[in-house]
Structure 1
């Protein structure tokens, strides 16, 4: 990338992230081409691959930015003074509502889209992202334990439980549009009670 200065590299990267989000929202991941992306930023096709290995990697990074925004909103929501079980129920409800309202996230919930995207994202990026999510999740859970919201359990296990429940959203179609909210209400109630009820 010697023909770009550091400032130009950062401008191009930001352009691809910004225009990528716009194009993905307008056309979806499958119908957005590399040509669309480079055309929107005024760069050559070869230059795209100096920044991202695929459009799926770009989409994944756009999603990660969306997740950061949602996590901040959920974190703010958890500052409210609610009884422990109600707070965990409210955490899941807020997370699902934000996901349902986000058109970018809706795309990966379509049948098979998440798996197709993940196959094209470099493994080191996924591993770094998973490790980062795990560390942030553990800190989040430890804070809730210290506040007396959650029982003193292994934070990594609790993070795994929370992630497992949130990942169920990928199976909404299989469970059924009508049935899914009722199924999730039961699961969330049981998980919230199990994580917060002191013996």
Structure 2
């Protein structure tokens, strides 16, 4: 229901409580009995959509690939899913929504399925010698987390080809982490 409201009314910013309650066929007072704001209900719906997307992302990744191909597939799949789902698209294209979600998710990101997938693979790549041994896991994670920070500020990069820029940065990080043979 909320998915329809946000996508049909030009996104999160222009969707108001009246539109949400009208679509849900409930009174405004009933809405406020369960939610304090449209941000709260959006976050709840976002979380459900995001968890479903994370499971699909992790299931689609072929971990037998090289680290570079795995990360490339990982980022490409995240961007694809974020654009296909109206709720995730709001997060992906709207900095204000991204910041709202980050505010609610301050500490939850470390329990994320995607984050755990990344840690598991970083550890495996270090154990198999595919990643440099002189760069610890914490620093490696910080490099990948830098991509998330950049992603949250994509409008400031000012390019129409942002997904490619993110992919190139991820390639450069993996190249820098890769063991020299």
TMscore range, shorter length: 0.7 to 0.9
Matched with 1:132 is 108
Across the aligned residues of Structure 1 and Structure 2, the Cα RMSD in angstroms comes to 2.9
Residue of 45, 49, 68 corresponding to 1:66? 49
CA distance in 1, matches of 2:57, 2:115: 15
Residue of 17, 39, 48 corresponding to 2:22? 39
Pairwise CA distance, 1:75: 0.7
CA distance in 2, matches of 1:192, 1:45: 50
Pairwise CA distance, 1:146: 4.5
> Could you tell me the TM-score, scaled by structure 1's length?
0.69
Unaligned runs of 5+ in 2: none
Residue of 91, 111, 115 corresponding to 2:74? 91
Q: 1:23-42: CA deviations, max 9, x gaps?
A: 01111222222122223333
Aligned residues, how many? 172
Distance 1:140 1:55, change over 3 A: same
Q: 1:59-109: CA deviations, max 9, x gaps?
A: 122122221122112211224421122212221222222223333333344
Equivalent residues of 1:138, 1:159 under 8 A apart: no
Equivalent residues of 1:38, 1:44 under 8 A apart: yes
> Could you tell me the TM-score, scaled by structure 2's length?
0.75
Equivalent residues of 1:141, 1:158 under 8 A apart: no
